[in-house]
Amino acid sequence: MKNKTPFNPFRYGIWVLLLFSFLTGFAFSGTFPGPSLSGVVVREALRIMVWSLKSRGAGIIDTGTASAQSHKQWKAPWGFSHMKYIVQGVPVELLVKKRGTPERVILLLHGGAYLMGLVDIYRDLGVRYSTISGGASVALVDYRIAPEHTFPAALEDAEAVWNWLLEQGYREENIIVVGDSAGGNLSLALALKLRDEKRKMPKAIVCMSPWTDMTASGDSYRDNLYKDPIFGLFPWEKPTGNGQWIGNLYIGGHPLDDPYLSPAFGDYRGFPPMLIQVGALEIIESDSLIVYERAKAAGVDVTLTRYEGMFHVFQLFGDFVPEVREAWEEVTDFLRWQFRR
């Protein structure tokens, strides 16, 4: 007789919550003020998942496995070609849309707290970016990560791929840099470095929930400490340290306020147009607010959109959540407008 798998109420509870949010996502979109019902359900499902992981001594990003590459043989969808290169030791993947706009390219720098390599969710994201931008190619960078490689390894890799794109014939005015979380950090750091080297800047920058302040100095590190469903604490937990947590593995003993490590301390004079999106419940919400204020003060054409009730990189979740749809509509409009300018 086969042993039955023990019933796990948390696992089934999450699936029930997600199903409920899917069924209600479109029906109640825009009906009530504040976050959508489906957005709240997904957020609380994430909170339950994080609680379950913590109770087993695990974390959102397991440093023991985060550096492992995706084992699935990812295949580009119909209408796309998928090519792989090694650029100065850095793996790079180029997605090209057939009948697209080959002179344009999006440089995608993935998230993962500088602890996770390139995985399939970002390849899928690359397809989305290409589609919504009107057919731009997308370069995905599998930059070096901690703990094996510390700052400035990822920044060096990003600049190496930027140089490679120029060698392939792409022009700076046809390159848009996008990134989420640590990838948002890297997008801003790359632009700061190019500007400081008196080089031409990218056409524009898109940052989703950028992690920009390794010193954890912003108000949200305290105000959202017990609200953030992913990186926050539960009511019975007490804070330890000053919130630098996972960043320490990439920092490698470097000064925390170096703008190339913490772009919140950067000077944004001469920057291209920027779109920044952030969830209002994120611990690192203030990272986006600080960058926005500094860029605005420097005369940059910058837009910041805060999504009420939303969590870290909520844009990676399903379009059945109204806030996700709204965020991608905003990104679509921004990309197409910038490429037309």
pLDDT tens-digit readout, 241-288? 554 455 678 998 899 999 999 999 999 999 999 999 999 999 999 999
Quote the pLDDT of residue 259.
Answer: 98
| The pLDDT value given to residue 54 | 84
pLDDT value for 289: 98
Known catalytic residue at 282: yes
Mean pLDDT of the chain: 88
- At residue 6 the predicted structure's pLDDT band, cuts being 50, 70 and 90, is very low
Q: What are the Cα distances from residue 198, in Å, to 78, 106, 297?
A: 40, 21, 21
Per the CB < 8 A criterion, the answer to whether 303 and 274 are in contact is yes
Give the Cα separation of 337 and 231 in Å (integer). Answer: 34
As a whole number, mean pLDDT of residues 144-149 equals: 96
Asked if 181 is an active-site residue, the reply is yes
> Residue 223: pLDDT above 90?
yes
Q: Which residue has the higher pLDDT, 72 or 146?
A: 146
The active-site residue, picked from 29, 38, 181, 220, is: 181
Does the pLDDT at position 15 exceed 90? Answer: no
pLDDT score of 87: 98
Average pLDDT over residues 166-195: 98
Q: Is the pLDDT of residue 221 over 80?
A: yes
- State the average pLDDT over residues 145-173: 97
Q: Is the pLDDT of residue 44 over 60?
A: yes
What is the Cα–Cα distance from 177 to 190, expressed in whole angstroms? 9
Looking at 159, 282, 285, 323, which residue is catalytic?
282
- Is 3.40.50.300 the CATH number for 80-340? no
Each residue's pLDDT tens digit, 51-92 = 988 888 777 776 544 544 545 689 999 999 999 999 999 999
Q: Tell me what percent of the residues of the chain surpass a pLDDT of 90.
A: 76
From the CB of residue 211, how many other CB atoms can be counted at a distance below 10 Å? 29
Paired strand residues for 278: 306
| Nearest CA among 292, 295, 296 for reference residue 305 | 292
Q: Count CB-CB contacts under 10 A for residue 91.
A: 18
Query: Which tokens sit at 312?
Result: 């870290």
| Extents of the domains making up the chain | 9-55, 80-340
- Give the alpha-carbon dihedral of 11, 115, 277, 300, to 10 degrees: 180
